Structures are given as C-alpha cells and as structure tokens.
Structure 1
C-alpha cells in the first residue's frame, strides 16, 4: 500500500511554525503572514488601503487633494432678514488657518481628503487644552487633530451619539470627533474606500512594477519558464533550485551556460514584450485615474493637447472632484461645531470652478450692442468704463448712433397750406429755399 504523501501546506507550516501545532493555517494565509512583499492584496481593510498611496494612486489622489485643500474659505454672519455680511477677522478663521502646532490648515485638509479617498473615513479630534472638547454654544475648541483613519477603531453604539472612537488605546466620545465618511451601501455607518473598489487594478499595477524592478535587478535578463513532463522529486527540485540560484541569478552570473538534467525539460524565455508591459501599465494607469474620476490630462500626461483642451480637463476635474469635496467639508464644519457655537455664523468658500473663457468671450461678442453695453462687457473683464459715458448705451448695428438718439429723432415738419390771407408757405424740401407770398 502506497504511503500517503504529506500535503505541501502541512510541510510548510511545520517548517515555519514548528511541529505539533494545534492550528495550521491555510497555505495562502501562511504566505501572507510571512511574505507580504509580493502577495496579492485585496485592500479590504483600512490598514491595507492606506498602503496603496503610491504610484498612480498617489498621483491621482494628490491631483484632487491639493486644489481642494487650497480653496479659499470665507466666514459670514447672517442677519434676521437672511442677508450675509463677510467677517474678515474671527477666532474661527484663526483656528482653521492654524488648527494645531504641527499642521497648518491646508495640510490638515489634505490629510482629511486623502483619508477619505484611501480609507473612506476621516476623524478630526477637537481638543480644549489637553482634554477632548464637545461643541457648545459660545465655546470653541483650542485645536483640531486629524487622527490616522487606518488606525482608528469606530464602535457604533445603540444610538449614534453613544458611539465611540478608539485610537492609541484611548477611547473618545463621538461628540468630540468630527467624523466624515463615504457611506458604504452595504453598511451605511461605515465608509467605503476608492482603493477597495479599485483593488484588482491597483494590485495588478503594483505586481507589474515589482516584476519590472526584479527584471532590471537581474541585469535586465528575462526570466525562464521550465517545462517538464514529469514531476520533480523534492531532492531534485532542491538541487536544481540551489544550482540556479547560485550560478545563474544576479548580474554577475549573466549569460552563464545552464545545464538542465532530464531531456524533457525545456526552458522558455519570458520578455517584457511577451507581457506587453508598457501597454498594460498604461491601461492600469487610466483605470486607476478613472476610479478617482479624474484623468491623466489633469497632471499634464496628455498627447497632442492645446491650451483649450487642458483648460477643459481642469474645468471638468474641478466640477467632479474639487467642488463636491469642499462643499461636503464646509457643510460638515458648519453643522458639527460652527453653528453650534453661533447659529448666525456660516462658513463658505470661493467657488473654485474656473470660468469658461471661451464661452464668456462668445457671449460678450454676441451680446454687445444687443443686450449688453460696451461698459458691461468691459466690467466682466475688470476694465474701466469708457470715458464720458461712451460705452453706457447700446449702439445701432451698422451705425455709430446710439439707439436712444435714433428713437428721439423726429421727421421734418411742413408748414400747413395758407388760407389765402397772406400767410406764407415754407418749402422745406429744398435746403435754403426762401419763403414767398402765396398768390
């Protein structure tokens, strides 16, 4: 009776974990525990998702968070009639510019938007001195601190106000934390990361980069695939692996002859061309950018583009990415602590969407002297009105006369015919013709 062979995962687990273990993990789990360098990642956890902040994912994220964090903020006070008055100096503005001793306002907002992209959640801790702060009327926190979202543990309570946030073995009430999230449809109280949705594409791109790095580290020599009809014994495989590792890897061993025992074993070279490496990386790049709803053109990676095309790419990028994020962040600040402090105050921002210069120019060209005056068009471009009111009226097409002048013009009057009593009749049909008595 043939002896039953020990499964490979049992052999591997015994070698790695020691013998007589009550629990032996599955092979895939074991490899992930001890070899995380090139293992396949699904980015399901926040800890894994944050590691994707490199390569094309880093570039796409940076193209979003930098302009979003740089949007100019404004503070207004609303009166009982609903009219707003801008406030230029206030403790709230100072707090937003300098949230803590380590980070400036733009830096903190960049972190916030990055965590939202990579982990789907963000946590801003409010502090009063060295204690957590919960918003109250007439009271402001001393500082804000963005917690590393991938290290935060959120525990949902029976009610949301009873939820807690745990970080660095400290537990904080949800009332002292400004929590933002991209709701996961599967569990709306938790966030969904862009990285999780793009996991397969991002990991494919990383695997290709790792392969390419190893390719050039081996003196740019392609790898070999060995094909054999018979299964190698453990002893033969070990001896072959040691020989190949010692004598045929590394740049110092390039181009050495290789002897393969067993005539049925045939080596095949694998090249970058076989893997279509460059086109594959371009494909994954475009797919990653699409996951972030942006385009390579935003970072200048576009071919045969003129200024109009680049302006259009930035315009769409601002509408799709910058504007929604800054709107959500400002609304969160207002509802979380600013309007709790003073209901009449309102944080706002300068619209970051650039004007469509081409559309503006077309409207001005078509509208001038039709429904726009020259001065109104000049005002749109920041220019002063024409002197002496020359541009304050609409001029008739094909004429230098203002419409209001033409409207006031009257037709020439003719003196009525005389009644035979010596009245004179003035003939105005000929310029300079004198009056004379009517016979």
Structure 2
C-alpha cells in the first residue's frame, strides 16, 4: 500500500497539469526552450530587414525616396523602442499569439485617425497577449481593450495570422503545436522534479501493509535527509513493516534524451526550421547550414516581412499618400553555386561575356571584346553568320594514291642471285 502523500512532502510529483495553450497568456509563456530558440532564429533576421520607400510615377516605374518622415517614424517609433525592437516584438507576438497591435498616437496621446497627408506622432506596440479584441458589426467598427481602456480599431496597425475556425482572430504556432510543446515541457519538469526534490534511490523496499504514522514520519524524514538532492542519488531506501520486497529502479527511468530529441524535431518542424539553425550541428556540414539559412529566408523571413510591409501600406502609407509605397530589401542570400553554373553555361550562348561579368559587378571588356555571342558547335560569332562572312571550316583533303610511273618497276620475284 502506498501511503497518501497529501502533506506537501518533498515536492514529490508535480501538478500534472496538461497545458493546451488555449489562452494568449499561456501561449506567450511558451517563449522558452526550443520555442524561444526557434522564434529568435526567425524574428532576429526578420526584424533586421531594411525597409525602403518608393514614389510611384505615372508610367508605373518606382523611384526610391531616401529621406522621408515615414522612414523616420518607422526607424524611431517612440522613446522606448527602436524600429527594429518594435518589429522584433511584432513578429514575436505574431508567432506566439497570432496577433499584433501597434497603436498610432496623435498629439496629446490621442488616438490617431489615418488621413491623407497626416502621420501619427508616435507608434507603440501593445502586449498582444493582454489585448482583448471585440468584433463590431463591421470590422472597422471593432474595438481594442487594453489595461482598462477601450480604443477604436482604426487607431491600430493590426496584423494577424487568420484562424480558419474564426478568421477575424489570429492563431499562433504555439496553439497549433500545443501537444508537442507541452509534452516536451512535461518531460523537462519531470526530470527537474526528480533531481531537485528527490534524487532517485537505486533500491526501494515496498510493503503491502499500511505504515503507522510514526513509521511513515520516520521514513519521510529519512527520505528528506538521505535521498533528496543529486548528491544522495542511488542510496538504498528501506520501508519497514510487513512483507517488504525490494525493487531495483532502471537507469532508463531518467533517460529522456531520445524522447526529447524527437520532441525537438517535432517542434522545429512546426516552426519550419532545421536543427542546424539552432546550433544542432551533429551530422551537419557547411552545405547543410547554408541550405538551412536559405530555406529559413524563403519560408519564414520573407513571408513575415512581406505581410508586415503590406499591412503598413494599407493601414498607413497609402492613406497618407497613394503615390508612396513601402517595400523591403530581399534578405534571402543568393545561391552562389547556382549563379556560377548559370553564368558559366550561358556566356557565349545566350549571354555575352560582359553580361556575365556584370552578374559579379565587374566592368565590361575594352573595345567591345565582351559583346559577342557565338554559334554553338562552330564557335563562329553570330554577327559574322548574319552578314554571311562566316565560312564553315574546310574539311581535310582526302589521302590520294601516289602518281603512276611510265617505267615499270623491276620485279625481283623469281630472279636468282648469282655470285
């Protein structure tokens, strides 16, 4: 019989609470362990992407605007955060909560109403896990409640990852991967509880007879004194009374390494990251790491910054001036091997030498030497073929027999040599 441990003894076990991450607060609380590392691997490069402002001309071409109050506002949104820090928070909230709220402030801390030729005085980001969004009869008639105050939705740059079950609200990566994340967290807490509150004895005696209060109290004190903490691990523990039977505990009781590795891979799959991006470099070479960085840029960084820029354009920039457009510098690194292969196979055929050199920022060859394309197989310049000056290469002359002689050669066949 197991004695009821209902007196808070030694912290045995944990709450056992399974976390479904149903609330925003719980979802943001998952910003630790593998989720923290995965979020950092995505958010750090995304927040650092350079933003550009362009003027749209009547012919559709764009001209970059290097200095503008919009760029100043995005670089220095408020007295607390830089532009990069605010974007870092924005993308973190989008990952963990599925929603983000950037409040536009007017003078006197009033709510800003977007209008042509008007920009907010400052931008501040609200803690998305503490915000309550109330959907109105129309979307623009909705309200945002935070810290006891209610704000009109048009005063916010609101972004979200739409939840298919309720498209007006966001769904986070944590919510979608709740089971895998909680399984990993439960394993960590179990291991920690074992080491912190009761190092595992290597031998336990159990009994079918109930223990008296005195016997139980002595056993409890013995456990606290001699079997709590890692320094007391593997000491035998005796439970007295009745028919006692010993049980050996397997060392695999604490072996969660394989399970945690599986959980790590499952969690990273939900974040669409390779383990190498988080420093897990076992069986990973330079090519794998480069591929991981490249794929992270394509699948994680670009979609997030593109959506953020589009939201800024719709909510703020285009309202201020329809001829302005915010954009970003593509952060995806170029595939140098593919580029070199393309240039090598194309130069002289569909690309001139000068065009190939331009791909690497090199100048043209002098005197037009790099402006020629060649016909395949003959290596004749296309220009000479077009004007008819090119001639096909001459074939080698056939091997002919030696000329016949009028005087027949003497034959030595049948001639007897005399002395």
TM-score of the superposition, structure 2-length normalised? Answer: 0.82
Determine whether 1:46 maps to 2:57. Answer: no
In structure 1, how many angstroms separate the alpha carbons of the residues matched to 2:156 and 2:358? Answer: 46
- Report deviation, 1:253: 4.6
What are the equivalent positions in structure 2 for 1:400-415 lying under 5 Å apart? 402-405=381-384, 407-408=386-387, 410=389
Structure 2 residue aligned with 1:263, among 240, 243, 246?
A: 243
Are 2:123 and 1:113 aligned?
A: no
**Superposition pairs of residues 17-166 of structure 1, within 5 angstroms:** 39-129=17-107, 130-166=109-145
Change (3 A) 1:49 1:410: closer
Unaligned runs of 5+ in 2: 392-419
Aligned to 2:405: none
Q: Give the match's secondary structure for 2:116.
A: coil
Superposition deviation, residue 400 in structure 1: 7.4
Cα offset, 1:312, TM superposition: 1.8
2:176 to 185, 192, 197: 197
Partner residue of 1:374?
353
Q: Mark the CA change 1:95 to 1:255 in structure 2 (over 3 Å): closer, same or farther.
A: same
Find 2:343's aligned residue among 335, 360, 364. 364
CA distance in 2, matches of 1:283, 1:201: 10
Q: TM-score, normalised by structure 1?
A: 0.79
Aligned counterpart, 2:187: 208
> What is aligned with 1:26?
none
Match of 1:65, SS state, is helix
| CA displacement at 1:306 relative to structure 2 | 3.3
Distance 1:381 1:324, change over 3 A: same
Deviation at 1:270, TM superposition (A): 4.6
Of 93-102 and 186-195, deviating more is 186-195
Q: Which residue of 2 aligns with 1:333?
A: 312
C-alpha displacement of 1:110: 0.8
Q: In the alignment, is the contact (CA less than 8 A) between 1:222 and 1:270 conserved in 2?
A: no
How far the C-alpha of 1:200 sits from its partner, in A, is: 1.8
C-alpha separation between the residues in 2 aligned to 1:408 and 1:319? 47
Q: Taking structure 1 as reference, are residues 393 and 227 closer, same or farther at Cα in structure 2, changes over 3 Å only? A: farther
Report the RMSD for the aligned CA atoms in angstroms: 3.0
Counterpart pick for 1:394 among 340, 357, 373? 373
- Residues of 2 paired with 1:60 and 1:226: CA distance? 45
Gaps of 5+ in 1: 1-7, 17-34, 413-439
Q: Is the 8 A contact 1:218 1:251 kept in 2?
A: no
Q: What count of residue pairs does the alignment treat as equivalent? A: 382
Q: Say which of 278, 290, 294 aligns to 1:299.
A: 278
Does residue 383 (structure 1) correspond to residue 362 (structure 2)? The answer is yes
Q: CA deviation at 1:82?
A: 2.0
Contact 1:225 1:270 (8 Å CA) reproduced:
no
Q: 2:329 aligns with which of 343, 350, 355?
A: 350
The 3 A distance-change label for structure 1 pair 352 and 252 is: closer
Residues 165 and 174, structure 1, Cα contact 8 Å, conserved in 2:
yes
**Mapped partners of 1:218, 1:120: distance in 2:** 37
- Residue 398 of structure 1 and its aligned partner are, at CA, apart by 7.4
Q: Bigger relative contact order, structure 1 or 2, given CA contacts below 8 A and separation 6+?
A: 2
Would you say the 8 A contact 1:226–1:268 is kept in 2?
A: no
Which residue is 2:401 aligned to?
none
CA contact (8 A) 1:224 1:270 kept: no
Alpha-carbon shift at residue 280 of structure 1 (Å): 1.2
Cα deviation for residue 229 of structure 1 reads: 4.7
